[in-house]
Amino acid sequence: VQLQASGGGLVQPGGSLRLSCAASGTIISINAMGWYRQGPGKQRELVATITSTYNTNYAESVKGRFTISRDNAKSTVYLQMSSLKPEDTAVYYCNADEMYYCSGDKCYEDTVRHATDMWGQGTLVTVSS
């Protein structure tokens, strides 16, 4: 099981991008999912999170500009980013805080697995003219 992030790229200030992060494998359930970012010379910081019941939380710096959403049937979390600024330039990482999945293609009682604090590989977003 892994998280695969995509959608990063180069965009001009004021532009938009949509990031996606999908969990591969036979997923039973995922608790909260979120996006974090790490800019040049900075520590990783929270961008937004969303619970399994769709409660959301945003960093103050992105409120009103970014929207996090998820599709539980696809085990995917999205981040719609608008009105992008140069200071949004960073590698964006997706996270799943808790996940239940099956070790094979089908689920049996003895193939259920539990994982915590899973991270995707990161996708680079560059905001520049």
Note whether 38 and 94 are within 8 A (CB). no
Does residue 108 register a pLDDT over 90? no
Q: How far apart are CA 120 and CA 4, in angstroms?
A: 5
pLDDT attached to residue 10: 98
pLDDT attached to residue 103: 87
Mean pLDDT of all residues in 90-101: 96
pLDDT band at 77 (very low <50, low <70, confident <90, very high): very high
The strand pair at 123-127 and 9-11 is best described as parallel
Q: How far apart are CA 81 and CA 84, in angstroms?
A: 7
Q: How far apart are CA 1 and CA 45, in angstroms?
A: 24
Does residue 107 register a pLDDT over 90? no
pLDDT tens digits for 14-49?
Answer: 999 999 999 998 999 999 999 999 999 999 999 999
Q: How far apart are CA 19 and CA 62, in angstroms?
A: 14
pLDDT attached to residue 110: 86
pLDDT attached to residue 125: 98
Mean pLDDT of all residues in 65-90: 97
- Output DSSP code: residue 87: G
